[in-house]
């Protein structure tokens, strides 16, 4: 059962978090360049972020189930990774997605977006991606791991 849960956890992380990280990173430059028909691209990137963010909720759920099956729920590396995951999710929900909504509203109104707004969004997105990178490292290196790595 542990191997199945771990497989589902890793697959969910790849399939759900990967598209959010990529689409969120592509959104600010696409919004800066958007005019007329290019707004469809920006809208698609935002939709990818919203839909896959919802699917990504399965990642920590499967991770907790896997950790419980492995008997490592109290491990420091797991608590740290769950904390970083919560911070990343909060950043996405509180800063990235709402700012994407605001930029889409500007574009839909026919107004060009201002560079400082997209730069700030890119900063939040970068921090979001760095948090996920840190979680990935913790999942692979796992202090006290028996993998010998």
Distance CA 124, CA 103 (A): 14
Give the contacts of 30 (CB within 8 A, at least 6 positions apart).
38, 41, 42, 45
Cα–Cα distance, 47 to 8 (Å, whole number): 24
| Structure confidence by residue, pLDDT tens digits, 95-149 | 999 999 999 999 999 888 889 999 999 999 999 999 999 999 998 888 766 554 4
pLDDT tens digits for range 63-80? 999 999 999 999 999 999
Q: Which tokens belong to 77?
A: 């590396």
Neighbours of 109 (CB within 10 A): 7
pTM: 0.90
Domain boundaries, the chain: 2-141
**Which phi and psi angles does 95 have, rounded to 5°?**
-120, -50
């Amino acid at each position: 059962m542990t191997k199945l849960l771990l497989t589902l956890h890793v697959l969910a992380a790849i399939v759900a978090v990967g598209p959010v990280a990529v689409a969120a990173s592509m959104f600010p430059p696409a919004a800066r360049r958007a005019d007329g028909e290019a707004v469809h691209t920006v809208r698609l990137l935002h939709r990818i972020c919203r839909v896959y963010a919802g699917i990504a909720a399965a990642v920590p759920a499967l991770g907790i189930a896997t950790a419980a099956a492995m008997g490592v729920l109290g491990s420091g590396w797991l608590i740290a990774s769950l904390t970083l995951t919560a911070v990343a999710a909060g950043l996405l929900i509180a800063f990235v997605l709402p700012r994407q909504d605001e930029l889409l509203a500007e574009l839909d109104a026919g107004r060009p977006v201002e560079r400082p707004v997209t730069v700030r969004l890119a900063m939040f997105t970068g921090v979001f991606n760095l948090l996920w990178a840190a979680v990935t490292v913790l999942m692979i290196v796992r202090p006290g791991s028996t993998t010998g790595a």
